[in-house]
Amino acid sequence: MKLFHLSDLHIGKRINEVSLIEDQQYILSQIIKTIDDIRVDGVIIAGDVYDKSVPSAEAVTLFDDFLSRLALRNIPVLIISGNHDSPERLSFGNRIMEGAGIYLAPVYSGTVKPIILNDEFGKVNFWLLPFIKPAHVKRFYPEEKIESYTDAVRVAIDKMKINTEERNVLVTHQFVTGAETCESEELSVGGTDNVDASVFDGFDYVALGHIHGPQNIGSNRIRYCGTPLKYSFSECGHIKSITEIEMGRKGSLELHTLPLLPKHDMRQISGTFEEITDKSFYENENRDDYLHVILTDEEDVPEAMGRLRVIYPNLIKLSYDNTRTRTNRLIEGAQDVKTKSPLELLEDLYEEQNNQPMNSQQKAIALELIESIWEENL
């Protein structure tokens, strides 16, 4: 049996108010093309279909189009909700959709029934376990000791009563201990949402969602496929892909990654304003990419964002890397305000905040403003 493992589509995602809906439409079409090139027996989507629990109309329309295109190809699709999704909204109409081979995990009710697909070696049981918290499971099993996310997932799996002599695939959306994270994920403080990988011992494959970087946990049997697109600049180094699963007889498992090429890449570039706006520099850059520009100028450049967007239209983020930003100096104590002039006090404050003294031009401007304000108050 050959399967595609996807997760964390985050349809409707915006970065600094820039909509990625066209990029998501592009990448979903690329996934459809890959499915046409490589015939698969099923597609798994392991949660965070949408970026918000109440998705926008355009996000819902895009996902509806993606599912419709999959259904036309007669490919079973197995979907669970993630922590960004509303399980009630996502599972709406699930019993009707099953007729088209679209299996949407219902809201967790204490019972998970398998979706059974067959190949030449017999049946494979797919267990769809949406994102759960300890309180979700405790509600149905108050007699169980559930004090952590590991306890919650363990109890939910124990109640499935899987037959380990058969092939079993778990689709779930949790943070498994040991996974490498990045800025775009929502994790609990102190790692309280960690799930120990030992709870998955009975499964032949665990299709995980939640973590945006593709990675195995312990072995290729437990895997995060990662997002199909980069959703933060902390993901610049990621190579986004589809995880292709090949299951043979019981115990036979092979994974392959199929790269996905975005409409716009997400990158960081660094240098002084003069360097980055020099024609010899930007002629060698793909200026349509989504960019984080890091300026190394010691002083802030006036209207830098607007001026840079003339050259780099998809500039999303601007920051500085200089003496001021690299050094975090703390104000050690109050200055003697009675013996210093307003300008001297302002100079002290500026130096504490910027780790360098005011220059002569800044002092002249500050003095002119101080005198003007004082005159108005006399």
**Average confidence (pLDDT) over 139-146:** 95
pLDDT class of 197 with cuts at 50, 70, 90: very high
- Greater confidence (167 vs 189) lies with 167
**Pairwise CA distance, residues 365 & 167, whole Å:** 74
What integer pLDDT is reported at residue 331 of this predicted model?
A: 46
Q: Which amino acid is at 93?
A: G
> Does the pLDDT value for residue 153 go beyond 80?
yes
- Among 188-192, 209-213, 253-257, name the one with the lowest average pLDDT: 188-192
CA nearest 150: which of 198, 110, 106?
A: 198
> Does the pLDDT value for residue 246 go beyond 50?
yes
**Average confidence (pLDDT) over 325-329:** 67
What integer pLDDT is reported at residue 330 of this predicted model?
A: 45
Percentage of the chain lying above the pLDDT 90 cut: 78
What integer pLDDT is reported at residue 53 of this predicted model?
A: 95
**Pairwise CA distance, residues 210 & 131, whole Å:** 9
- Among 188-192, 240-244, 264-268, name the one with the lowest average pLDDT: 188-192
What integer pLDDT is reported at residue 350 of this predicted model?
A: 84
> Does the pLDDT value for residue 75 go beyond 60?
yes
**Average confidence (pLDDT) over 342-353:** 83
pLDDT class of 333 with cuts at 50, 70, 90: very low
- What is the token pair recorded at 152? 């919650």
**Average confidence (pLDDT) over 328-355:** 68
Tens of pLDDT, residues 25-64:
999 999 999 999 999 999 999 999 999 999 999 999 999 9
| Cα radius of gyration (the chain) | 27
What integer pLDDT is reported at residue 188 of this predicted model?
A: 57
pTM: 0.83
**Average confidence (pLDDT) over 231-252:** 95
What integer pLDDT is reported at residue 335 of this predicted model?
A: 47
Tens of pLDDT, residues 356-378:
888 888 988 988 888 777 655 44
Q: Output the DSSP codes for 240-305.
A: -EEEEEEE-STT-EEEEEEE---SS-EEEEEE-HHHHTSHHHHTTS-TTSEEEEEE--SSPPTTHH
**Average confidence (pLDDT) over 283-308:** 94
Residue whose pair of structure tokens reads 């999959």 in the numeric block: 70
> Does the pLDDT value for residue 327 go beyond 60?
yes
**Average confidence (pLDDT) over 83-103:** 93
**Pairwise CA distance, residues 6 & 352, whole Å:** 49
pLDDT class of 238 with cuts at 50, 70, 90: very high
What integer pLDDT is reported at residue 189 of this predicted model?
A: 45
What integer pLDDT is reported at residue 374 of this predicted model?
A: 62
